[in-house]
Each structure stands twice: as structure tokens, then as C-alpha cells.
């Protein structure tokens, strides 16, 4: 067997195998929480209502055409309106059905939405530097903790960047998406994992395009230290772990 076989098989559809499986959903096992619960005593920060007026470039054709992975940023602050808009563009809820299933600004296999958005905030209006989590249902931020030497921490977790060393530590915000795979496994069993990877691509593409509209640039980050980042965010690493990152800053 070639060293690639297993990984290539992961990329293929295993729907015919799936059809023979009784999923946890079919077996009547209760559905896991659709979003990560949080402590009622948490410090929550209201985000401004998303308003089209925040957009500087509204032409989608230009945004698609001009989009590039941006690894050099200006020192300009991202406003809270802009951050609110980027969070909405990536995970914002636009409707909820009777069963409580959320439909968002991004497509997602079976609307399973296995992601949580964490932010390492470095330069956002009125927010102290630190780690935050987005609450999509409330459209609020949950403040998690401050970080000493934020830039060093960002370097440690986005190690060995091939194009521009240490670029992420100049970003205004680092988006960090975790996945809780069981939200999809419950419904899709062995077919969940490929779907999760496709789903997160949609999220990041919306971040790229939404950033273009506010004169900001994004760069996806697939090279990161899994252990360090899961540890920093206090994730249990089996049930929830980081899957993808993206740096965002105003363009120079
Ligand atoms: C899944 C994925 C992972 C990536 N990881 C990194 C990364 O770790 N570091 C980086 O500098 N760029 C990363 N990129 C950005 C790509 O290098 C970039 O998209 C590619 O060079 C094409 O350039 P463009 O986005 O400007 O069209 C990643 C892009 C994708 C889609």
C-alpha cells in the first residue's frame, strides 16, 4: 500500500459504506449541543448590529478578483463594527428553524456547524488584547483571558511559516476555528470528517471576501502547532480541537 493510500481514500466519498451504518441519530441517541455552552458568569461583550454601511468596497466582482492572501498589514485598528461584520460573515446566523437548526452566512453539510470561532485580538477598537470566543446565537463576544507577550504566543503557534516568517504576529486579529466533530458524526458517522474539512473552507473563503470589502487582508494558516494552540485555548483535544486559522489586518 502506498504511503498515500489511506489519506487519498479519506478524500473520496464513502457514502455507499455509510448507507449500511446506523448512525447515532438513527439509534435515537440525543443530539449533542449545537453550539458550545458557556458559563453564565462569563464576561460578554455586545457586538454592534451588522450594517452594510461598514463596507467600503461593495462590488463582489472586484472583491473576488482582487482577493490575495495578505501577509503584510498596516498598524490600523480594526473597528468593532468591522469585527462584528467579519464574525457575521464567517459564522453569523441568518435564520433558525423550528428544530433549532441554525442557517448561517456559510453553507455547511446538513447545517451541522461543528465550528467555534476563537479570536486572538491584538488591535481592535475598545478591546483589550487577549483571547475571545464568538457566540453566534447571541452575536456577542465572550472574553476568555488576557495574554502576556501576545506576539510571542502567536509566533509559537504559527511556527515555521514558509512565505513570510512571523507575519501573523502583525495581524490585528487571528481567527482560530475549532471543530467539535461529534456534532457531525452523530448524523453522518464515518462520512463526517471529509465534510468538516470542506465546511471550514467555506468559512475561510467568506473571511477572505469580507476582508476585501473593508480594505483588510486575510491569510489562511494551515501550518500551526496543534498541541500548543489547543492547550492555549483550553480545548480537550479529543472532542474539540483547532482545525484552521486565518490572520486579518488592515491593508498597507
Ligand atoms: C488550506 C490552506 C492553508 C494555508 N496555509 C498557509 C500557511 O500556513 N501560511 C501561509 O503563509 N499561507 C497559507 N495559505 C495561503 C496560500 O499559500 C495561498 O492561498 C496560496 O499561496 C495562493 O495565493 P493567494 O491566496 O494569494 O491566491 C494557505 C491556504 C490554504 C487554502
| Ligand 1 in reach of 219 Cβ (< 6 A) | yes
Which residue has the CA at smallest separation from atom 18 of ligand 1? 69
Task: Report how far residue 115's alpha carbon sits from residue 180's, in angstroms, rounded to the nearest whole number.
Answer: 6
Task: Report phi then psi at 112, rounded to 5.
Answer: -80, -25
Q: What is the pLDDT of residue 1?
A: 67
The pLDDT mean for the chain works out to 97
Of the candidates 72, 139, 140, 62, the one whose C-alpha atom is nearest the C-alpha of residue 104 is: 139
Q: What is the pLDDT of residue 45?
A: 98
Mean pLDDT of 45-65: 98
Q: What is the pLDDT of residue 21?
A: 97
| % of residues, the chain, pLDDT over 90 | 99
Site to probe by mutation for ligand 1, drawn from 170, 221, 245 as the one with most ligand atoms within 8 Å of Cβ, is 221
**For the chain, which residues make up each domain, given as ranges?**
43-250
Residue 238 has pLDDT above 80, yes or no: yes
Per-residue pLDDT tens over the stretch 203-219: 999 999 999 999 999 99
Task: Report how far residue 77's alpha carbon sits from residue 59's, in angstroms, rounded to the nearest whole number.
Answer: 23
Hey, which CATH number is domain 43-250, 3.40.1190.20, 3.30.360.10, 3.20.20.80, 3.40.109.10? 3.40.109.10
| Ligand 1 in reach of 68 Cβ (< 6 A) | yes
Mean pLDDT of 157-179: 97
Which residue has the CA at smallest separation from atom 3 of ligand 1? 222
Of the candidates 184, 241, 248, 237, the one whose C-alpha atom is nearest the C-alpha of residue 211 is: 248
Residue 242 has pLDDT above 80, yes or no: yes
Atom of ligand 1 nearest to the CA of 164: 11
Residues in the chain: 252
Cβ atoms of residues 111 and 103 within 8 Å: yes
Atom of ligand 1 nearest to the CA of 223: 8
Q: What is the pLDDT of residue 73?
A: 98
Which residue has the CA at smallest separation from atom 19 of ligand 1? 69
| Ligand 1 in reach of 65 Cβ (< 6 A) | no
Amino acid at each position: 500500500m502506498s504511503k498515500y493510500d489511506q489519506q487519498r481514500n479519506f478524500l473520496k466519498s464513502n457514502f455507499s459504506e455509510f448507507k449500511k451504518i446506523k448512525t447515532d441519530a438513527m439509534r435515537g441517541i440525543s443530539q449533542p449541543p449545537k453550539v458550545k455552552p458557556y458559563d453564565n458568569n462569563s464576561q460578554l461583550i455586545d457586538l454592534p448590529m451588522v450594517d452594510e454601511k461598514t463596507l467600503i468596497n461593495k462590488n463582489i466582482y472586484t472583491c473576488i478578483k482582487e482577493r490575495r492572501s495578505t501577509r503584510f498589514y498596516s498598524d490600523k485598528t480594526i473597528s468593532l463594527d468591522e469585527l462584528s461584520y467579519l464574525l457575521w460573515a464567517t459564522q453569523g446566523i441568518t435564520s433558525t428553524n423550528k428544530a433549532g437548526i441554525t442557517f448561517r452566512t456559510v453553507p455547511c453539510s446538513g447545517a451541522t456547524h461543528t465550528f467555534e470561532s476563537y479570536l486572538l485580538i491584538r488591535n481592535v477598537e475598545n478591546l483589550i488584547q487577549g483571547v475571545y470566543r464568538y457566540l453566534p446565537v447571541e452575536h456577542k463576544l465572550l472574553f476568555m483571558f488576557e495574554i502576556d507577550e501576545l506576539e510571542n504566543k502567536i509566533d509559537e503557534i504559527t511556527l515555521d511559516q514558509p512565505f513570510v516568517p512571523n507575519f501573523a504576529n502583525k495581524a490585528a486579529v487571528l481567527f482560530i476555528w475549532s471543530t467539535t466533530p461529534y456534532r457531525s458524526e452523530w448524523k453522518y458517522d464515518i462520512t463526517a470528517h471529509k465534510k468538516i474539512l470542506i465546511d471550514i473552507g467555506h468559512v475561510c473563503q467568506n473571511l477572505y471576501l469580507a476582508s476585501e470589502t473593508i480594505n483588510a487582508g486575510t491569510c489562511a494558516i494551515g501550518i500551526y502547532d496543534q498541541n500548543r494552540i489547543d492547550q492555549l485555548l483550553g480545548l480537550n483535544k479529543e472532542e474539540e480541537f483547532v482545525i484552521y486559522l486565518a490572520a486579518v489586518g488592515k491593508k498597507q
